[in-house]
Amino acid sequence: MDDRTFRNAMGKFATGVTVITTSVEGEPHGMTANAFMSVSLSPKLVLISIGEKARMNELIKKSGKFAVSILSEEQKEMSMIFAGQIKEKRDVDFKWMNELPVIDNALVNLTCNVHESYVAGDHTLYVGEVTDMSLADGKPLSFFEGQYKNIS
């Protein structure tokens, strides 16, 4: 089974798009991720999956916390910035929640403390206990077959 066929298959699972953020010594760092799921209601747990080569991995290990911003359909540029799909460095004005940077005007901002982490192949799964959240109305940015989509 080759990597491209696996990615093509996984790309058939339509998802939303998030930006995972954390901060070490007051420096914000963000990374686009679609590997995000709700895990438990009591306690309130969510899961993210971060590639071993991503800078985010070391930073979450250091900070012990992360935030998840679920992007709206107007925020494709944010996704592209934090996936490195826009090469030139952009200044992003983060909103701050519980001393974590989050993306302003996202559909949801969640802040989490790392509850557990598990190495799984070439990724690390982080289960986060949700410490705070904010919600807004709007339509989600989506990702399907390796492409950004809007749900109309």
Which residues, numbered 51-90, are part of the site for ligand NAD (CB under 6 A)?
51, 83
Structural tokens at position 124: 């690390």
DSSP 8-class letter at 120:
E
Tokens 């306690």 belong to which residue? 43
Q: Does 117 bind ligand FAD (CB under 6 A)?
A: no
- 55 binds, options ligand FAD, ligand NAD, none, Cβ within 5 to 8 A by partner type: ligand FAD
> ∠ CA(118), CA(120), CA(125), 5° rounding?
45
Per-residue binder mask for ligand FAD (CB under 6 A), 6-45, x = binder: -----------x----------xxxxxxxx----------
- 30 binds, options ligand NAD, ligand FAD, none, Cβ within 5 to 8 A by partner type: ligand FAD
- Per CB under 6 A, the list member of 11, 16, 51, 138 interacting with ligand FAD is 51
Sequence-distant contacts of 130-136: CB under 8 A, at least 24 apart = 130/44, 130/45, 130/46, 131/65, 131/98, 132/97, 132/98, 133/108, 133/109, 134/97, 134/108, 134/109, 135/107, 135/108, 136/72, 136/105, 136/106, 136/107, 136/108
Site for ligand FAD, rule CB under 6 A: 17, 28-35, 49-51, 54-56, 79, 81-84, 89-90, 92, 143
Site for ligand NAD, rule CB under 6 A: 7, 10-11, 34-35, 49, 51, 83, 143, 146
